[in-house]
């Protein structure tokens, strides 16, 4: 589901980040895009709703908020910020906030996240941003110019593949109970599509499939299989009640084929023969 873009909140957020960075040399367009990206995604991960709902695009240097440049032009025209060329490359790099921003549109936890992210991106790179590595893996996996959906906040989180996960995958590929691998996969997909799983489970599945289709190399090869079979585990988030997503897939001659998928670890499974 595409998130609704809140134009007024986006305008206020851009203004606020410019205000926080009193020295414009610490900000710039690239850093501003990163602050918006990490802030929107961090809040979406925890609450299921982003701060602004802005669309982000994968560009060569990283994620880019699609409405940013028009919004900067509007803020400059309204006398809220000023822009100056930092060099002769042709890009507006220095951003000055002239007026004090209005923060009444934001919740306290949103302000806290924005300030924390801005501090790390613009002021002190020795700090850390929650889930930064996972967010970075997402935009790096996408194609140039591709839209980066919000549900991908669950992607970029490789989980530890346990012996029980391998055993489950091998039973899927070599069933003994007459249930085909496709049947196992379709049963789970049907459960998700009919709403038996909650929305965050659906987003986690969508994220795992999104990541896998863009980078099949994230999985590991399964042992003793005739074809090129792999298993990938996307780590869940216990505090959000989001389970692991485990996928068995084949990859040969640049073709990806999904064989089976499950939510949750196979660690507690009872052997089919018991």
* Mean pLDDT within 27-44: 95
Q: Is pLDDT above 70 for 86?
A: no
Out of 120-129, 173-182, 213-222, the most confident range is 213-222
Please tell me the distance from the alpha carbon of residue 60 to that of residue 196, in angstroms, as a whole number. 39
Which pTM value belongs to this model?
0.88
Average pLDDT, the chain: 87
Percent of the chain with pLDDT over 90: 67
Out of 15-19, 86-90, 95-99, 178-182, least confident range:
178-182
At residue 182, the pLDDT reads: 42
Q: Is pLDDT above 50 for 271?
A: no
Q: How confident is the model at residue 223 (pLDDT cuts 50, 70, 90)?
A: confident
7 or 86: which carries more pLDDT confidence? 7
99 token code pair: 């007026």
At residue 207, the pLDDT reads: 97
At residue 6, the pLDDT reads: 96
At residue 194, the pLDDT reads: 46
pLDDT tens column, 19-30: 998 887 888 899
Q: How confident is the model at residue 262 (pLDDT cuts 50, 70, 90)?
A: very high
* Mean pLDDT within 99-117: 95
Residues in contact with 37: Cβ distance below 8 Å, sequence separation at least 6, in sequence order: 56, 62, 63, 65, 135, 139
Please tell me the distance from the alpha carbon of residue 19 to that of residue 17, in angstroms, as a whole number. 5
At residue 227, the pLDDT reads: 64
pLDDT tens column, 46-72: 999 999 999 999 999 999 999 999 999
Out of 37-51, 189-203, 229-243, least confident range:
189-203
Which candidate, 153, 131, 109, 120, places its Cα nearest to that of 26? Answer: 120
Domain range annotation of the chain: 7-153, 163-263
At residue 187, the pLDDT reads: 45
């Amino acid at each position: 589901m595409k998130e609704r873009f809140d134009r007024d909140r986006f305008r206020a957020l851009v203004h606020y980040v410019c205000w926080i960075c009193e020295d414009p040399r610490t900000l710039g367009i690239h850093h501003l895009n990163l602050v918006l990206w990490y802030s929107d995604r961090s809040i979406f991960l925890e609450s299921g709703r982003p701060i602004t709902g802005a669309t982000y695009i994968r560009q060569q240097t990283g994620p880019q908020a699609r409405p940013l440049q028009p919004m900067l032009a509007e803020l400059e025209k309204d006398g809220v910020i000023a822009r100056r060329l930092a060099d002769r490359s042709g890009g507006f790099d220095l951003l000055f906030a002239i007026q004090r921003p209005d923060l009444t549109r934001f919740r306290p936890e949103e302000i806290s996240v924005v300030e924390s992210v801005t501090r790390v991106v613009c002021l002190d790179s020795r700090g850390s941003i929650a889930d930064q590595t996972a967010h970075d893996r997402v935009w790096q996996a996408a194609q140039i110019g591709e839209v980066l959906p919000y549900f991908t906040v669950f992607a970029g989180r490789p989980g530890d593949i346990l012996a029980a996960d391998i055993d489950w995958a091998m039973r899927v590929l070599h069933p003994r109970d007459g249930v085909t691998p496709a049947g196992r996969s379709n049963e789970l997909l049907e459960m998700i599509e009919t709403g038996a799983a909650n929305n965050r489970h659906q987003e986690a599945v969508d994220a795992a499939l999104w990541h896998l289709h863009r980078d099949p190399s994230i999985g590991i090869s399964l042992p003793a299989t005739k074809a090129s079979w792999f298993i990938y585990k996307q780590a869940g988030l216990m505090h959000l009640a989001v389970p692991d997503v485990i996928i068995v897939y084949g990859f040969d001659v640049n073709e990806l084929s999904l064989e089976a998928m499950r939510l949750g670890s196979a660690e507690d499974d009872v052997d089919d023969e018991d």
